[in-house]
Amino acid sequence: MPPRVCSRLSHPGAPCFVRGALLAPGAVIRFRERAVSASRRGALLLIVAASSLLTCADPLDLCGPKTANLEFFSKGDCMLTRASFFQGHEWLTYFGNRRLSEDERFSSADLQIIAEGNRRVDWPKELLVHMNAGVLQYSSALTEYTDRPEVQRFHFLLDDRNDSAQAAEDARHELERLTLRALESWGTDKRKALTQVGRANHLIQDSFSPAHARRDTLDIKQPWCIIKVKAFIERADGFDTSDIEYHGGTSSDTVGHTTTQDSIYRQGRDCLEPSGADQVESCLSEPAKRAILATADYLELVQRMAVAVTLGNASPEVIVGYGLPDYISEHLALCEE
């Protein structure tokens, strides 16, 4: 278990790291020219190191920079985020659950577990062991993890070699896997089941972020179908073709997973930093609203599938195979050419 860390003022000499100093996962500039800047990485790490003289927190309360409230991605382990609960993915999950009828809504306690499972896709809990060696080591481990090709499907992104069709298929298989694991655990380990639901929500919600995929919002036959899946990590030699689009906007607004294209908010001075459910809801962007609809549909679907499993109507495998295709067709389908 990582050591409890606290304020140097109240506990002189205690091991310490800064609250709010950790940068977003994969905090390296990624943009079309593939300008992966080693000097920028070093500068970002220096910011983390320089901040270590400031306020400290428990390792589970580490959070990202203030600008992280612009993104779809959850903040990291942050005391303030946990206290307010609602940031990025958490807001989408909250509003998705609120769309359900009262008898189908998850309880507040269950929703917290779902939100935590969602959060841990970006900030894996097992990486916190690196905090024993310091913030820089944790940041490095987080960056290395985020850049692995095999985890890109968790965020609805290209890996280093596949194309949009393959990436969408990989993500759909991951959604099937997570849903199956949730149903298998529903009656015996509800926390584990809800954690898988949270991870599934993360994948679904990321697919609506303009930083992750380009969707056709005007297609009447296939509303919000997927035109293209974007890349976050550097492509393998021979696979960085001219049609590849990269996560985020430009070099001036993109640092790792933090970019204005990942925002859940519409543009406008009144939406720079909304607070409270009503204000946040009034500031949601169109992609965020669509992500909430897809989240609500999944939350409703997984509960109905869980009931079918509990009643013994069929095996979890059969129910997933029967229940998910229509959902995928509505929310995660590629546009037909």
Measured distance CA(228)–CA(230) in Å, rounded: 6
Q: Taking Cα atoms as reference points, which of 227, 231, 233 lies closest to residue 214?
A: 227
Q: Which run of H or E residues covers position 171? A: helix 164-185
What are the domain boundaries of the chain? 66-125+147-331
Query: Tens-of-pLDDT digits for all 337 residues of the chain?
Result: 333 332 222 333 332 222 222 223 333 333 333 334 343 344 344 434 444 433 334 444 444 433 333 334 444 444 333 433 447 898 999 999 999 999 999 999 999 999 999 989 988 888 888 888 888 888 889 889 999 999 999 999 999 999 999 999 999 999 999 999 999 999 999 999 999 999 999 999 999 999 999 999 998 899 999 999 999 999 999 999 999 999 865 544 444 455 667 789 888 888 887 878 899 999 999 999 999 999 999 999 999 999 999 999 899 999 999 999 999 999 999 999 7
Measured distance CA(246)–CA(223) in Å, rounded: 23
Q: Taking Cα atoms as reference points, which of 24, 211, 23, 18 lies closest to residue 122?
A: 24
Whether the CB-CB separation of 160 and 149 falls below 8 Å is answered with yes
Whether the CB-CB separation of 23 and 66 falls below 8 Å is answered with no
Residue 258 is predicted with a pLDDT of 54
Q: What is the pLDDT of residues 253-312, one digit of tens each?
A: 444 455 667 789 888 888 887 878 899 999 999 999 999 999 999 999 999 999 999 999
Residue 328 is predicted with a pLDDT of 97
Identify the bridge partners of residue 255 per DSSP, sorted by sequence position: 258
Residue 284 is predicted with a pLDDT of 95
